[in-house]
Amino acid sequence: MKATATANSNIALVKYWGKRDERLILPQNSSISMTLDGLYTTTTAEFSEKHRKDEVTIDGKKVAGEELDRVVRQLNLVRRLAKTHLSAKVTSKNNFPKAAGLASSASGFAALTLAATKALGLHIEKKELSMLARQGSGSACRSIYGGFAEWVKGSHHDGSDSYAKQLAPKEHWPELAMIVSVVTAEEKKVKSRAGMSQTVANSPMYRAWLETVEEDLKNVREAIMERKFTQLGTAAELNALKMHATMHTTTPHIIYWQPETITMMKEVMQMHEEGIECYFTIDGGPQVKIVCMDKNAGKIAKRVKGMAEVEKVYVCHAGEGARLSNKELF
């Protein structure tokens, strides 16, 4: 009745932005991501009579309120499948700051879903696991897979055709790197969830997002399959800017960028101009992630580390999918 799982975070190259169903977490558009080797969450879940209610600890802190509710909701999904009412103790540890736009909800919900299903003795296929993880946090469905994954949006009302699948394993493109820098490790004020629904509701740019996202998906999918770096970086950068344009133009506006974010974007453009080919992508937070080839990663990381704005730098490559672990957290 106890299991531990580790899942890596993933960064979208074509972003998931906007839901068509808030409860089931069904997206308006498909998305494509790279699972990162350097950022991960490990979670131990134990179901037992001795636990009188669900108790959740993340990075040494007991969680309460909305954060606890989200985990309990996910545990309820798994309990329903396993036909049990047992309460759980869940302990989770991230090797990076959570809720700062480094996709901790992706690795967190992927690890939780795998640990909880295993603890309750459920044997489910990756596709089903991905659909379950999706209901915790949309982007989590992609972290079930290593390498490169596409979350296919689907069209069914019950969500039965909205899941992630692997486009290519991590061995497919080991020369590709993603540099993740932390400019301010504060927790963000507007969660992706709230930002997303507001954007769908009233950004005049949201229509343009939906009208052009298929083109981005096609370009990024092909770039991954054929290992075309320039095509990948160009399409990913444009896609991130379009997503932020929808946020900048929603009312009230949502601007996740900090002055440091812009400084970093400019630095990426400067390096690119100097002949070090690299591109940026940004999620629901101030962090800038740089897509580059491994041969330039050391040089870029050194430049970025030298910037006053930057607190921490992780050089990542495509990583593994969610997996069981024997390193119990309690």
DSSP string, 206-254: HHHHHHHHHHHHHHHHHHHHTT-HHHHHHHHHHHHHHHHHHHHTSSS--
The distance of closest approach from Cβ of residue 83 to ligand PMV in the complex, given in angstroms and rounded to an integer, is 28
How many CA atoms within 13 Å lie on the side-chain side of 13? 35
Contact 132, 111 (CB under 8 A): no
- For CA atoms 139, 142, 146, 149, give the dihedral sign: negative
Choices 10-18, 42-50, 265-273, 318-326 (CB under 6 A): range interacting with ligand PMV: 10-18
What is the smallest separation between the CB atom of 268 and ligand PMV, expressed in angstroms? 18
Nearer to ligand PMV, 138 or 147 (CB): 138
| CB 258 to ligand PMV: min, Å | 16
Q: Which residues of 294-316 are buried (b: 16+ CB within 10 A; e: fewer)?
A: eebbeebbebbeeeebbeebbbb
Q: Which residue has the tokens 């490559």?
A: 317
Place of tokens 């309690």: 330
Q: Is 92 exposed, middle or buried, given 0-12, 13-18 or 19+ CB atoms closer than 10 A? A: buried
Subset of 62-91 contacting ligand PMV (CB under 6 A)? none
Between 31 and 41, name the residue whose CB sits nearer to ligand PMV.
31
Tell me which residues in 256-315 interact with ligand PMV (CB under 6 A): 283-284
Contacts (CB under 6 A) with ligand PMV, residues 221-260: none
What minimum distance in Å lies between the beta carbon of 251 and ligand PMV? Answer: 19
Q: Please give the Cα distance from 201 to 245 (Å, whole number).
A: 14
User: Considering beta carbons, is residue 3 or 167 the nearer one to ligand PMV?
Assistant: 167
Distance CA 111, CA 137 (A): 12
The set of residues, in sequence order, having a beta carbon less than 8 Å from that of 50 and lying 6+ positions away, is none
The answer to whether residue 107 forms part of the interface with ligand PMV (CB under 6 A) is no
**Site size for ligand PMV (CB under 6 A):** 12
Shortest Cβ distance from residue 138 to ligand PMV (Å)? 4
Nearer to ligand PMV, 120 or 285 (CB): 285
Contacts (CB under 6 A) with ligand PMV, residues 183-222: 192-193
102 neighbors 187 (Cβ within 8 angstroms): no
Q: Considering the rule CB under 6 A, would residue 138 count as an interface residue with ligand PMV?
A: yes
Tokens standing for residue 183? 């400019």
| Choices 132-140, 213-221, 247-255, 263-271; region in contact with ligand PMV by CB under 6 A | 132-140
Q: Is 181 an interacting residue with respect to ligand PMV (CB under 6 A)?
A: no
DSSP result, 176-196: EEEEEEES--PPPSS-HHHHH
User: Which of 137, 198, 219, 250 lies at the binding interface for ligand PMV (CB under 6 A)?
Assistant: 137
Q: Which of residues 26-45 bind ligand PMV (CB under 6 A)?
A: 31
By beta-carbon proximity to ligand PMV, the closer residue of 233 and 284 is 284
Peptide bond into 27 cis (omega under 30): no
Judged by CB under 6 A, which of 74, 87, 139, 325 binds ligand PMV?
139
Which residue ranges make up the site for ligand PMV (CB under 6 A)? 12, 15-16, 31, 105, 137-139, 192-193, 283-284
